[in-house]
Chain A
Amino acid sequence: MAGKKKLSIQDLAKIREKTKSMMTIREGEGRARVTVHMGTCGIAAGARDIMDALLGEISKAKIQDVIVTTSGCAGLCNAEPMATVEIKNQPPVKYGHLTPEKMQKIFVQHILGGKMVTDLVLAVGSETVY
């Protein structure tokens, strides 16, 4: 945005909207948080493709308040690649045996639509942490 065009007040609001959505991540908040499990087992099982599919869907949908993080092995290595979806104020949902297509479906139905993709769900909630 190094152009010499002078801004008007409307432009200011536009820049704010556009840039802010790119930066909500710096506040650590969003409507949903998706964790792609990327331990050695996850990476070997193709977690990278799941991540690529997820990031692709997010940019296609032009939404910015979905936070994507990675985590280590979830302990259920034979169900990899796995991902956990946490919608604000709801318990985390774990999905297993993912493929890029399944990830796309989860994105559309669960993350955008708010409805769990029941047939792909491994578990709801998280382990008790002592």
Chain B
Amino acid sequence: MKQYRAHLLVCAGTGCVSCGSFKIKEALESEIKKRNLQDEVQVVATGCNGFCERGPIVMVQPDGIFYQLLKVEDVPHLVEEHLLKGRPVKKLMYVPPAEEQPVPKMKDIEFFKHQRLIVLRNRGRIDPEKVEEYIAFDGYEAMAKALTEMTPAAIIDEILFSGLRGRGGAGFPTGKKWAVCAKEKGTPKYLICNGDEGDPGAFMDRSVLEADPHAVLEGMVIGAKAIGASKGYVYIRHEYPLALKRVEIAIAQAHDNGLLGEDILGTGFSFDLEIVQGAGAFVSGEESALIASIEGRIAMPRQRPPYPAQKGLWGKPTVINNVETWATVPNIIRRGADWFQGLGTETSKGTKIFSLVGKINNTGLVEVPMGITLREIVYGIGGGIPDKRDFKAIQIGGPSGGCLPAKLLDLPVDYESLTAAGAMMGSGGMIVMDDKTCMVDIAKYFLNFLQDESCGKCVSCREGTQRMYEIVKGITEGKGKESDLALLEELATICKDASMCALGQTAGNPVLTTLRYFRHEYEAHILDKRCPAGVCKSLIRYVVLAEKCTGCQSCKKACPNDCIKGTLKDVHLIDQTKCIKCGACKEACRFEAIEEQREEAIQIV
């Protein structure tokens, strides 16, 4: 490795890669060469920076300058100005919404300022494909400590005392799980890393695997020593090709360097890892289904107990933890349980990664201390709602989670508060919705997802999700009855009580929380046949206002379904039987002569 005066850290997470960050990297390298700066300036591909909304992103160190939304054409100017002449390029910097002045430094940008990085500490900082860069930032130090200075019991005590709880959703104390497995007599014992991230809009695990794969490996070796396992599996869904590639590289490098395999670091301890690719079914993220999938069977959950810690993979004691949980472990061992204990709330310790998506200015991935309020996340880090619209709800915890309304914005984010409010921590997906979102439509979306993904083993879930979907779909189409709401509540409750795994047990949450906080919207759909947000197409119609129409024919040309009639300079007419409610005519009209009607009762044909 050479000494360089500047490092260009190009974000190469999936988000930025799909926006062309590898092309930016190539362009930077060739431009730097052209300027003969290749011995002074290094270009590095890093993991996801988190601010995916603004990709492709390049960070220039040591100045800490943050460049965003880069295009290949910008590169020559950037290299000449910043690297040759030392003048950071303002027009490529981030400008906060509703402001005019750019914010040059990453540490001053609101999105980054309030985050607290533990699991993502190496994101945007190291090249995830180089083990030595991981080692440079204290990588494998915790593993060395665990293998040489700590007994298995001491490791478990440390994790137990830290208060770490599973980051995959249920929030079970990690140390307890390990202790149960360590006590089991059966051998061999196995470890599994659950990287089957299936929530729509969630990408925490993918990002950790892409940005810092060695952290997951290190955590697993420490876990292996704690419970006495000699073999582990990293289960990653095949839709994550970049994560798969980076973990493959990491495992190979760890092998080559004696950080994995036989006699790790010369300590006599042996542990090996293998990658298993999942085919991508939501239910595979459930631990017993995931185990079945590794064994080569259909991913269907089974009755528990016995829990995997007692009888897991091939009937042997198995610890299965989520990606984020494993990546937290080395930090606790290295810096001590006391330090971790000091972060977060009474019952929820440490930090949690959330993917922040939906109607929010700063879409991306954030790591925040537990106990932070939803308001701080949405308005502080997230920069609020685009187009100055109003916040309506935030969906937390994926399809199993719930929608929380504006009055709960000051709710602290911890396991207990979220569950009490009807949502759940889940794996950490947060979908922000504005006033143009219909909550009944949202419930329909999640129910459709769940009825598709239900494995079909339990009647309550298989039939329950399907029936709930049909009812909610009917409501959005104006076919709802007053008795539907009670029936929905009953179905959701039965699904919760009678299903075997967490998928079914939580499948009612989208319905129950929207009913709890947005009942008036259901009632508007059912009683008034009206969709207050104007989303449900059966409940709106577009009409031409005769007094405003000039007969310019713009709407007629814009209509994709040829359902607007009218000759030049005559008032036009929309054929309601053919209208697909796309709204293209309204957008095309320059005279505000097309109205979207949703107030009055509309006859359903």
Give the complex CA separation of A77 and B5 in angstroms.
24
The stretch of A65-73, A95-103, A121-129 in contact with B is A65-73
Among the listed B137, B256, B265, which residue makes an inter-chain contact with A4, where contact means beta carbons less than 8 Å apart?
Answer: B256
Closest to B262 in A: A6
16 CB-based A-B contacts, threshold 8 Å = A2-B256, A6-B265, A12-B140, A12-B144, A16-B139, A19-B132, A19-B135, A27-B61, A28-B61, A28-B63, A38-B86, A55-B3, A55-B39, A58-B3, A64-B3, A71-B87
List the B side residues contacting A5 at CB < 8 Å.
Answer: 257-258
In the complex, B342 has a CB within 8 A of chain A: no
Q: Which residues of A contact B (CB under 8 A)?
A: 1-9, 12, 15-16, 18-20, 22-23, 25-30, 33, 35-40, 43, 51, 55, 58-59, 64, 67-72
**CB-CB under 8 A for A8 and B266, given A25-B6, A72-B86:** yes
Q: Are B136 and A15 in contact (CB under 8 A)?
A: yes
**Interface residues as binary, B374-407 with A (CB distance below 8 Å gives 1, 0 otherwise):** 0000000000000000000000000000000000
Closest to B144 in A: A9
**CB-CB under 8 A for A6 and B257, given A26-B9, A28-B61:** yes
Give the complex CA separation of A65 and B356 in angstroms.
36
Q: Are A16 and B141 in contact (CB under 8 A)?
A: yes
Q: Are A23 and B136 in contact (CB under 8 A)?
A: yes
Give the complex CA separation of A9 and B147 in angstroms.
10
**CB-CB under 8 A for A15 and B148, given A37-B86, A64-B3:** no
Which of chain B's residues 334-382 have a Cβ closer than 8 Å to chain A? none
- Which of A4, A7, A35, A51: most chain B Cβ within 10 A? A7
In the complex, B172 has a CB within 8 A of chain A: no
Q: Are A20 and B137 in contact (CB under 8 A)?
A: yes
Q: Are B86 and A35 in contact (CB under 8 A)?
A: yes
List the B side residues contacting A19 at CB < 8 Å.
Answer: 1, 132-133, 135-136
In the complex, B64 has a CB within 8 A of chain A: yes
- Which of A3, A8, A16, A26: most chain B Cβ within 10 A? A26
Q: Are B265 and A12 in contact (CB under 8 A)?
A: yes
Which of chain B's residues 111-144 have a Cβ closer than 8 Å to chain A? 125-126, 131-133, 135-141, 144
**CB-CB under 8 A for A26 and B7, given A16-B135, A19-B136, A55-B40:** yes
Q: Are A26 and B125 in contact (CB under 8 A)?
A: yes
List the B side residues contacting A29 at CB < 8 Å.
Answer: 62
Q: Are B7 and A72 in contact (CB under 8 A)?
A: no
Give the complex CA separation of A29 and B62 in angstroms.
7
List the A side residues contacting B133 at CB < 8 Å.
Answer: 19, 23
Q: Are B266 and A9 in contact (CB under 8 A)?
A: yes
Q: Are A25 and B62 in contact (CB under 8 A)?
A: yes
Q: How far in angstroms is the closest Cβ of chain B from A112?
A: 16
Q: Are A22 and B135 in contact (CB under 8 A)?
A: no
Give the complex CA separation of A40 and B7 in angstroms.
23
Which of chain B's residues 1-17 have a Cβ closer than 8 Å to chain A? 1-7, 9
Give the complex CA separation of A43 and B135 in angstroms.
39
In the complex, B259 has a CB within 8 A of chain A: yes
In the complex, B84 has a CB within 8 A of chain A: yes
Which of chain B's residues 498-556 have a Cβ closer than 8 Å to chain A? none
In the complex, B83 has a CB within 8 A of chain A: yes
In the complex, B185 has a CB within 8 A of chain A: no
List the A side residues contacting B6 at CB < 8 Å.
Answer: 25, 68-69
Which of chain B's residues 145-170 have a Cβ closer than 8 Å to chain A? 148
**CB-CB under 8 A for A12 and B86, given A4-B256, A25-B4:** no
Q: Are B265 and A69 in contact (CB under 8 A)?
A: no
List the B side residues contacting A68 at CB < 8 Å.
Answer: 5-6
List the A side residues contacting B85 at CB < 8 Å.
Answer: 38-40, 43, 70-72
Q: Are B61 and A25 in contact (CB under 8 A)?
A: yes
Give the complex CA separation of A37 and B85 in angstroms.
8
Among the listed B7, B263, B266, which residue makes an inter-chain contact with A25, where contact means beta carbons less than 8 Å apart?
Answer: B7
**CB-CB under 8 A for A23 and B86, given A1-B132, A9-B265:** no
Give the complex CA separation of A87 and B86 in angstroms.
19
**Interface residues as binary, B36-56 with A (CB distance below 8 Å gives 1, 0 otherwise):** 000110000000000000000
Among the listed A22, A36, A40, A55, which residue makes an inter-chain contact with B1, where contact means beta carbons less than 8 Å apart?
Answer: A22
List the A side residues contacting B259 at CB < 8 Å.
Answer: 7
Closest to A73 in B: B85
List the B side residues contacting A69 at CB < 8 Å.
Answer: 5-6, 62-63, 86
Q: Are B144 and A70 in contact (CB under 8 A)?
A: no
List the A side residues contacting B2 at CB < 8 Å.
Answer: 22
Q: Are A70 and B136 in contact (CB under 8 A)?
A: no
Q: Are B87 and A72 in contact (CB under 8 A)?
A: yes
Q: How far in angstroms is the closest Cβ of chain A from B35?
A: 11
Q: Are A20 and B257 in contact (CB under 8 A)?
A: no
Give the complex CA separation of A9 and B135 in angstroms.
12
Give the complex CA separation of A16 and B3 in angstroms.
15
List the B side residues contacting A20 at CB < 8 Å.
Answer: 136-137
Give the complex CA separation of A51 and B41 in angstroms.
13
List the B side residues contacting A12 at CB < 8 Å.
Answer: 135, 140-141, 144, 265
Closest to B39 in A: A55
Give the complex CA separation of A4 and B261 in angstroms.
13
Which of chain B's residues 77-118 have a Cβ closer than 8 Å to chain A? 83-87
Q: How far in angstroms is the closest Cβ of chain B from A7?
A: 5
Closest to B258 in A: A6
List the B side residues contacting A51 at CB < 8 Å.
Answer: 40
List the B side residues contacting A3 at CB < 8 Å.
Answer: 256
List the A side residues contacting B265 at CB < 8 Å.
Answer: 6-9, 12
Among the listed B62, B125, B132, which residue makes an inter-chain contact with A15, where contact means beta carbons less than 8 Å apart?
Answer: B132
Closest to A64 in B: B3
List the A side residues contacting B86 at CB < 8 Å.
Answer: 35-38, 69-72
- Which of B9, B126, B135, B148: most chain A Cβ within 10 A? B135
Give the complex CA separation of A30 and B132 in angstroms.
21
Q: Are B132 and A26 in contact (CB under 8 A)?
A: no
Among the listed A16, A39, A55, which residue makes an inter-chain contact with B136, where contact means beta carbons less than 8 Å apart?
Answer: A16
